[in-house]
């Protein structure tokens, strides 16, 4: 596909129009998911049950012509249940690799924090390298490959909190909240008569892109220009998290990279080939809220991670 001929802003607009035929009142979450997808990143979706986390991922996969697999994470889950394993075939007297659910364009790791650490770590190589290594063999994952992890912010019984090393593999942590009154009425009106697994067909979604166009969009976004002063702005924001009294653990250089990559997507969504400080501000919270840790003293005072980050964003001078 001719990369130069691809209009990412138009592609984003078509995708958003189709997704919002099914998912109402979640535009920020939709935009963040698309920004991470087109920046070769993974997404952690946090929200109470029933706010359309699974529906959102299924709909994005459908409109972008990408494979989708959903896997329920449970305490008894083993690493091979996700990655796959070698099985002996009597017909050939040889071991054959049987792919796990990770071999898909979109893997929805539902309630990812309900699996033990050993199973969670099975995703680390897949998310970082795009491969699965088993029995001295390296198996490449399909491209694009995106993990959508979900977790419930309220119920913690029987969960295994994701360590920082695991959280750091997610480009964005997106908070999926309740829709506003108008959007909720739309949900009740449009969805009550379309329950079950066939609802995507019921809404007659159009495929707005091919897999090749998604990969081409990534190349266009990667080539987005970033001015030196914007680079310095990102560095200053990340550095400020390390010297803030509200935070026990600040952001790493990788956090700055994720911040830049996500801002490139937003710039292209707006039809620009350069990043502005406003793009940085727009992705600052989803890119950093899972990479920093609030200090115990601030937590006792009721300071949330988003509040601490917002204070930092206000304190750092914005380039003109």
Distance CA 133, CA 131 (A): 7
Q: Which two tokens stand for residue 84?
A: 């796959």
Amino acid 7: pLDDT: 93
Amino acid 202: pLDDT: 72
Amino acid 304: pLDDT: 95
Cβ count near 292 (within 10 Å): 23
Taking CA atoms, 300 is separated from 292, 296, 303, 310, in Å, by 16, 6, 7, 18
Amino acid 187: pLDDT: 84
- Cα dihedral 211/217/222/224 (nearest 10): 180
Amino acid 108: pLDDT: 94
Q: Phi first, then psi: give them for residue 164, nearest 5 degrees.
A: -60, -35
Element counts in the chain: helices (H) and strands (E): 15, 11
Amino acid 198: pLDDT: 59
CATH number, domain 224-315: 1.10.8.80
Indicate the pTM of the whole model.
0.91
* Parallel, antiparallel or unpaired: strands 247-249 and 293-294: antiparallel
Domain 3-217 identical in fold to domain 224-315? no
Residue 150 near residue 45, CB atoms below 8 Å:
yes
Tell me which H or E stretch contains 106: strand 106-110
Residue-range domain boundaries for the chain: 3-217, 224-315
Amino acid 123: pLDDT: 87
* Parallel, antiparallel or unpaired: strands 43-46 and 172-175: parallel
Amino acid 259: pLDDT: 96
Amino acid 219: pLDDT: 95
Q: Which two tokens stand for residue 192?
A: 């009550």
Q: Which two tokens stand for residue 268?
A: 């292209």
Residue 120 near residue 160, CB atoms below 8 Å:
yes
Assigned CATH class of 3-217? alpha beta
Amino acid 88: pLDDT: 81
Residuewise pLDDT in 10s, the chain (320 residues): 555 558 999 999 999 999 999 999 999 999 999 999 999 999 999 999 889 899 999 999 999 999 999 989 888 888 888 998 888 888 887 888 888 899 999 999 999 988 888 888 888 889 989 999 888 889 999 999 999 999 988 776 667 888 888 899 999 999 999 999 998 898 888 877 665 555 566 778 899 999 999 999 999 999 999 999 999 999 999 999 999 999 999 999 999 999 999 999 999 999 999 999 999 999 999 999 999 999 999 999 999 999 999 999 999 999 98
Taking CA atoms, 13 is separated from 16, 43, 220, 271, in Å, by 5, 20, 16, 11
């Amino acid at each position: 596909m001719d990369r130069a001929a691809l209009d990412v802003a138009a592609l984003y607009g078509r995708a958003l129009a189709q997704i919002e035929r099914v998912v109402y009142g979640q535009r920020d979450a939709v935009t963040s998911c698309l920004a991470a997808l087109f920046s070769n990143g993974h997404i952690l979706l946090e929200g109470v049950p029933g706010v359309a986390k699974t529906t959102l991922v299924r709909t994005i996969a459908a409109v972008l012509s990408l494979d989708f697999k959903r896997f329920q994470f449970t305490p008894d889950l083993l690493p091979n249940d996700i990655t796959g394993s070698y099985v002996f075939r009597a017909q050939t007297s040889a071991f054959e690799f049987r792919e796990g659910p990770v071999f898909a364009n979109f893997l929805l790791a539902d309630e990812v924090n309900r699996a033990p650490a050993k199973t969670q770590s099975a995703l680390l190589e897949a998310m970082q390298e795009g491969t699965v290594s088993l029995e001295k063999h390296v198996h490449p994952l399909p491209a694009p490959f995106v993990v959508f992890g979900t977790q419930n912010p309220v119920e913690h019984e029987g969960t295994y909190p994701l360590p920082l090393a695991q959280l750091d593999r997610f480009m964005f942590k997106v908070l999926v909240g309740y829709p506003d009154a108008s959007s909720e009425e739309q949900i009740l009106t449009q969805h009550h008569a379309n329950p079950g697994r066939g609802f995507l067909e019921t809404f007659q979604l159009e495929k707005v892109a091919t897999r090749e166009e998604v990969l081409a969009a990534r190349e266009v976004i990667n080539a987005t220009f970033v001015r030196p002063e914007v680079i310095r702005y990102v560095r200053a924001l990340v550095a400020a998290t390390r010297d803030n009294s509200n935070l026990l653990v600040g952001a790493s250089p990788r956090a700055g990279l994720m911040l830049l990559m996500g801002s490139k997507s937003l710039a292209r969504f707006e039809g620009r080939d350069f990043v502005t400080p406003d793009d940085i501000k727009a992705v600052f919270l989803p890119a950093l809220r899972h990479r920093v840790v609030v200090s115990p003293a601030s937590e006792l005072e009721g300071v949330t991670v988003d509040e601490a980050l917002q204070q930092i964003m206000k304190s750092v001078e914005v380039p003109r």
